[in-house]
Amino acid sequence: MLRFCKLALLLVSLTSLSTTTRSTRHGLIPPTATRLTDRFPCLPYDKAFSSFFGGKNVQLANDGSGVSLALDKTSGSGFKSREMYYYGFFSAAIRLPSDYSAGVVVAFYMSNAEVFPKSHDEIDFELLGHEKRKEWVLQTNVYGNGSVGTGREEKFYLWFDPTEDHHQYSILWNYHHIVFLVDNIPVREVSHTDAMSGAYPSKPMSVYSTIWDGSEWATHGGKKPTDYKFAPFVASFRDLEADGCPWSQTKSASPCSTGNRTSSLSLDPVGGAEFAKLSQQQEMGLDWTRSKFMFYSYCKDPHRFSVMPPECKP
């Protein structure tokens, strides 16, 4: 039997929809969101993940179901999934460090750089630390087939204080599109179009989370370095989800790599028609987050690109 988060079982039995009641910023109430996080199993950290780096700065929590990552003067830290996956749904509930944290980066992402170093794929959530009286910034990015020369960053403010409680950061990745979601509300969709085909993540990836010192670039281009008098900086993770097609380097193909991505024979957990495009409700959520909270998109930066990347063209 799949092991779901404790709260998820109750929520699923009541309804598939919910509106957050947690404190919000800016006087705005987020729209109702389909709770995709309730559709997939939660995995105990100590069974599905392992330490990536950081030694003692990686600490188990909640009897092994969760974990905390710390950054101090000696090291950052991180963990990674024991499996590599093709398409699927990947999520973590994260609570961020609460004190002054300029220069600190907390990331939840997928990558295969260790296996495909010259042609790696990546799907990134990066949370960039805050200054006094300022807010954490959410940055998303996508690389495919080693296309790191084109950063596809988009940046958002959040409609809540991410240091007060755990909030869910989720990635839906299939043949049709990549969807970034925060508390189940879409904030970005990257469609698998002809223009994007060469840079669309297409190889199996591991799931990672890290906390590290991004002083060189993270806050105002590096103008606000990490101040270690506020260390250790600790991020807490729980409700970890990774439901995709497992891949082994000893296998030549995956059930997700078949030509018919919506086939009932595929083991892709997000391969069905309901995951091929956003619902009307999800489209409304996407419009809400992007119109009210997005403040940077690489597709609207002519100073950076004299010729816009092909996927930016209408």
The one catalytic residue among 126, 154, 189, 311: 126
3 state SS of 221 = helix
Q: For residue 122, indicate whether it is catalytic.
A: yes
Q: Is residue 166 within 8 Å of residue 86, measured between CB atoms?
A: no
Alpha-carbon distance of 75 to 54, in angstroms, equals: 6
Alpha-carbon distance of 155 to 296, in angstroms, equals: 5
Q: Is residue 53 within 8 Å of residue 78, measured between CB atoms?
A: yes
The one catalytic residue among 114, 122, 153, 274: 122
Alpha-carbon distance of 104 to 69, in angstroms, equals: 12
Count, residues in the chain: 314
CA dihedral angle for residue 40, residue 45, residue 48, residue 49, rounded to 10 degrees: 130
Alpha-carbon distance of 272 to 299, in angstroms, equals: 30
Q: For residue 216, indicate whether it is catalytic.
A: no
Alpha helices in 115-201 (DSSP H): none
> So which residues are the catalytic ones?
122, 126
